[in-house]
Amino acid sequence: MGKLLNGWLCYAAFIWSGVVSANSLVLVSIDGFRWDYLDRPEASIMRSLAARGTRVTKLRTVYPSKTFPAHLSLATGLRPATHGIVDNYFCRNDRPDCYNMGSGRKDPDWLSGVPLWTLVEMQGGRASTFFWPESDAEFAGILPTDYRHFDARTPHAERVEQALEWLTLPADQRPALVTLYFSAVDSAGHNFGPDAPETHTAIADVDAWIGRLWQGIERINEREGADINLVLVSDHGMARVEPQHFIDTNTLPRPRGFKRVSASTRVMYYQRDQDADIEALAEKLNQLSEGRYWRVSSESLAHRHYEGHPAVAELIIETQPPRVFRRGGGKGADLHGMHGYPASEEDMAAFFVAIGPGFHSSRVIAEAHQLDVYPVAAALLNLTLPDNLPSDGGALRAALKANKP
């Protein structure tokens, strides 16, 4: 995986040994929390924090707007076609096996880049992660000081209490970075739809635990004079889908020489045999489309910065809400929400809230990008960044009180 782990990293690991930032950051992901959920009554605590801190109205997503690609982009500051996790499930043309969520734990060669928790550890700080995707995988042979393997059954109370326990360590042992992850809002959005009562209940539950977390952080800040900051972020939004419009993947061609991978909002065809006729496949797909889906052009993929990596399939078709690709079509109508569509779909926009001594209060930023989060978090923690990042923080730098170069 040494593509981006250049000599700078080895040098930094040495020269920055022992450097610890005065600030700490608690970075919380609320999976599937759409940008406008923050204005719903069930998100009253988070909305109050936003009013006291900085809020981004719409946080634009990477492509595709899926859990693992977006989380790795938030964590590394890189686009999916650079950090290598281009979907929740995908293949590559330079290896026979395929990636599934969390495969980096057993095989870090799937991954490229320097996650924030690795950057902290390399520069003398302590990172403590709780369920952030791939935070239990080695990057450059390094793991966070504290980490947990994902278990969806873990109660929210346990997650929050563990984070606060890490933060109450003596100042010289306190983590510079703590990450948390909540998936309840995403699960409810998929199962019931973004506007369902069950999704409102999930928002309210997570909102209450965010309130408990911030209360604990405030107490530590006041009691110990600490500078702990809180950032709330999501990986993507959620669009309503309708089972009567689902596209049955069983009706799509599956010719020899291609590996077909369905990714709900799109289907990827990997050309395993170089003699396989890709133009014939494209023509057959066009004949079957009936306006329900279309081939993504090379120009569109370039515009989305989704090219130049062996995980990018030779042929990709995609659809738009309320449609998804699903085996069997709409049989068993247990799916009412989906993400993964391009960022041009407004329902895919995520959210961002920051509060604490390092952030401005009562500030609203109309729009920022997920790639802005990494450099801003690094600036807050006084970390030196790797080279070749696509963003310097962009509009999100206005959130920082100390707007460092």
| 348-360 average pLDDT score | 98
Binned at pLDDT 50, 70 and 90, residue 21 comes out as low
Dihedral, CA of residue 33, residue 38, residue 43 and residue 47, to nearest 10? 130
Same domain flag for 231 and 259: no
Whether residue 6 is contained in a domain is answered as no
Characterize 94-113 residue by residue with b for buried, 16 or more Cβ atoms within 10 angstroms of its Cβ, and e for exposed: eeeeebeebbbbeebebbbb
Per-residue burial over 280-289, b = 16 or more CB atoms within 10 Å of its CB, e = otherwise: ebeeebeeee
State whether 100 and 119 are in the same domain. Answer: yes
116 and 186 together in one domain: yes
pLDDT at 358: 97
Domain boundary residue among 318, 335, 352?
Answer: 335
Domain count, the chain: 2
| pLDDT at residue 82 is higher than 50 | yes
Same domain, 96 and 171: yes
| Cα separation, 326 vs 380, whole angstroms | 43
Q: Over the chain, what is the mean pLDDT? A: 93
End of a domain among 315, 335, 355?
335
Q: Is residue 10 part of a domain?
A: no
Inside any domain, residue 9: no
- The CATH number of whichever domain residue 116 belongs to comes to 3.40.720.10
Query: Does position 19 have pLDDT exceeding 60, yes or no?
Result: no
Is 14 contained in some domain? no
Residue 269 belongs to domain with CATH number: 3.30.1360.180
Asked whether the predicted pLDDT for residue 265 surpasses 60, the reply is: yes
Judged against a pLDDT cut of 90, whether residue 22 lies above it is answered with no
Residue 7 lies in a domain: no
Integer CA distances (angstroms), 192 to 137, 185, 287, 335, 347, in order: 32, 10, 33, 7, 16
Range with the lowest mean pLDDT among 228-242, 269-283, 306-320, 328-342? 328-342
pLDDT higher than 70, residue 317: yes
- Interatomic CA distance for residues 149 and 135, integer angstroms: 8
For residues 224 and 251, state if they share a domain.
Answer: no
Same domain, yes or no: 365 and 222: yes
Rounded average pLDDT over 10-35: 70
The verdict on 227 and 305 lying in the same domain is: no
Assign 402 a pLDDT band (cuts: 50, 70, 90).
Answer: confident
Whether 72 and 160 share a structural domain: yes
184: in domain: yes
Q: Which residues contact 161 (CB under 8 A, 6 or more apart)?
A: none
* Percent of the chain scoring above 90 in pLDDT: 91
Question: Are 231 and 299 in a shared domain?
Answer: no
Please report the pLDDT score of residue 13 as a whole number.
41
Tell whether 236 and 327 lie within a shared domain.
Answer: no
pLDDT above 70 covers a percentage of the chain that reads: 94
Residue 5 has pLDDT above 70, yes or no: no
2 has pLDDT over 50: no
Domain region containing 274: 243-335
Segment 231-245 shows an average pLDDT of: 97
Question: Residues 325, 381: one domain?
Answer: no
Per-residue pLDDT of 181-213, as tens digits, reads: 999 999 999 999 999 999 999 999 999 999 999
pLDDT per residue as tens digits for the range 98-120: 999 999 999 999 999 999 999 99
Q: Is residue 322 part of a domain?
A: yes
Q: Beta strand 54-60 with 239-240: parallel, antiparallel or unpaired?
A: unpaired
Asked, for residue 11, whether it belongs to a domain, the answer is no
Q: What is the mean pLDDT of residues 276-293?
A: 97
Q: Residues 329, 223: one domain?
A: no
Q: Which of 335, 362, 378 is the last residue of a domain?
A: 335
Confidence of residue 323 (pLDDT cuts 50, 70, 90): very high
Residue 230: what are its φ and ψ, rounded to 5°? -125, 130
Q: Are 370 and 35 in contact (CB under 8 A)?
A: no
pLDDT band at 23 (very low <50, low <70, confident <90, very high): confident
